[in-house]
Amino acid sequence: MDKFEKLQGIAAPMPLVNIDTDMIIPKVFLKTIKRSGLGVNLFDEMRYDRQGNELPEFVLNKPQYRNTEILVAGDNFGCGSSREHAPWAIKDFGIKCVISTSFADIFFNNCFKNGILPIVLPQEQVDMLMTDAEKGENARMTVDLEAQEITTSDGDVIAFEVDAFKKHCLLNGLDDIGLTLEKSASIDAFEAKAGQERPWV
């Protein structure tokens, strides 16, 4: 998993509330167990018509937001089913940070496990960032995980909270497998000792 330290990028405004995981990645695309290739189908039913043509009014189809790395979203983002494909699709599209007033718990935790930083802020601050994002591609935000600060394109600074353990994992690029591998020396020692004590196992 890539490390997340400081991100400076284009932010896209998506003020819709209750965006569920089926809206993020429809169930028809859940056949794969690969984490790559899902970005093209992110928000599929909102991005394309039934013939597969892009809908120009959808925010991520607009030229200024095609390379967005930050999503400023409405309340209760990621609700619905617990599919891990939702953060996979978001990450594969190129979005590394999602900001909202609240997230569904499972989606929230899955984001951290896939290298995405979900940030919870009060409505007033989300509204402020939403307005900043509406300025388009010249309005670049900076998200500094180490300092736990968001800086708007106008230089306003907003502090955010993040769990210390989850912060450590993102800063060091550690998913569940990476955390386990950090203990590889202890695991090897245990297995060697167990092999000597119980050679029949």
pLDDT at site 150: 98
- 10-residue mean pLDDT profile of the chain (201 residues): values are 93 97 94 86 96 96 96 97 93 98 97 96 98 91 98 97 96 76 65 73 66
Helix-, strand-, coil-residue percentages of the chain, each rounded to 5: 40, 20, 40
**CATH fold of 6-197, please?**
Aconitase; domain 4 (3.20.19)
CA angle in degrees (0–180, nearest 5) for 90-99-143: 95
Other C-beta atoms closer than 10 Å to the C-beta of 9 total 18
Residue 134, pLDDT score: 95
State both tokens at 162.
């993040």
For the entire predicted model, the pTM comes to 0.88
Q: What is the pLDDT, as a whole number, of residue 33?
A: 79
Exposure string over 24-45, b if 16+ CB within 10 A, otherwise e: bbbeebbeeeeeeebeebbbbe
What 3-state class would DSSP assign to 72?
strand
Q: How is 112-135 classified by DSSP, letter by letter?
A: HHTT-EEEE--HHHHHHHHHHHTT
